[in-house]
């Protein structure tokens, strides 16, 4: 019931926030990149990202729930994507307790949700670098606005597939990591003593690969990044 009320409250706040955002959005053009906070100095992306015209008019929110910080109650895993041009916008992942306390937050580029569209199923294996580069350029230039929209929606809808718990029967695999790979030895010892502590693996959203393994330390009363991996 607490989780339900928390979700309902977040959605109501989002609706009010989105309405205010829409009023502002109508006064802006799709090219108003420098009007966004923190973009006084224009960032020039590669040609693919720079030419991307995909945008959203409202704040996007997705959420799920799972046991994490507490073995008795589920936490809320919340995704928020700010409105605007996807090539410039920011997204945020939060983990929120049933009491409404944000115990984990990660901000990343909303471009994460579209970058995979530039990877074709097949690439030329002969002809050298110039043939490959021409092929890739022609490939992304042929992507239609509808394809961008559909890919973005599918990527957002499947976002939580990239955040997954580490099953208790696979925790032994963590023993393969060297001591220098463990960021917090105190938390590591706590995990060894208490097998009820939940660990989750989160993809690095601003990287091409890798991620982090995090857990909630009951002794330190906070989320700890245990391992950063490739």
Q: Which residue has the tokens 């995909």?
A: 54
216 in any annotated domain: yes
**Which pLDDT score, from 0 to 100, does residue 198 have?**
93
42 in any annotated domain: no
189 in any annotated domain: yes
Angle CA(126)–CA(132)–CA(137) in degrees, nearest 5? 155
Report the 3 state secondary structure along 115-179. Answer: HHHHCCCCCCCCCHHHHHHHHHHHHHHCCCHHHHHHHHHHHHHCHHHHEEECCHHHHHHHHHCCH
Contact (CB, 8 A) for 113 and 156: yes
From first to last of its 230 residues, the chain has per-residue pLDDT tens of 554 455 545 544 444 444 444 443 433 333 333 333 444 455 556 889 999 999 999 999 999 999 999 989 999 999 999 999 999 999 999 999 999 999 999 999 999 999 999 999 999 999 999 999 999 999 999 999 999 999 999 999 999 998 988 876 566 677 777 778 899 999 999 998 998 899 999 999 998 889 999 999 999 999 999 999 88
**Domain residue limits at 187:** 166-230
217 in any annotated domain: yes
223 in any annotated domain: yes
Strands 102-109 and 163-165: unpaired
205 in any annotated domain: yes
Cα→Cα distances 178→181, 185, 186, 229, Å: 5, 11, 15, 12
Number of domains in the chain: 1
Strands 102-109 and 90-96: antiparallel
213 in any annotated domain: yes
**Which pLDDT score, from 0 to 100, does residue 37 have?**
42
59 in any annotated domain: no
């Amino acid at each position: 019931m607490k989780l339900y009320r928390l979700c309902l409250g977040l959605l109501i706040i989002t609706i009010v926030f989105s309405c205010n955002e829409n009023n502002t959005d109508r006064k802006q053009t799709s090219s108003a990149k420098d009007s966004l906070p923190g973009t006084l100095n224009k960032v020039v992306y590669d040609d693919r990202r720079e030419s991307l015209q995909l945008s959203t008019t409202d704040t996007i929110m997705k959420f799920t729930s799972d046991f994490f910080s507490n073995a008795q109650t589920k936490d809320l895993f919340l995704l928020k994507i700010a409105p605007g041009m996807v090539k410039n916008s920011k997204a945020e992942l939060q983990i929120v307790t049933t009491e409404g306390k944000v115990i984990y937050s990660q901000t990343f580029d909303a471009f994460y949700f579209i970058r995979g569209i530039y990877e074709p199923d097949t690439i030329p294996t002969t002809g050298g670098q110039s043939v490959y580069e021409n092929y890739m350029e022609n490939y992304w230039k042929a992507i239609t606005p509808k394809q961008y929209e559909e890919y973005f929606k599918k990527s957002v809808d499947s976002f939580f597939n990239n955040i997954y718990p580490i099953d208790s029967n696979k925790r032994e695999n963590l023993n393969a990591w060297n001591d220098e790979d463990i960021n917090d030895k105190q938390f590591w010892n706590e995990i060894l003593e208490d097998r009820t502590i939940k660990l989750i693996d989160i993809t690095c959203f601003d990287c091409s690969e890798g991620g982090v393994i995090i857990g909630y330390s009951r002794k330190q009363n906070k989320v700890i990044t245990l391992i950063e991996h490739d």
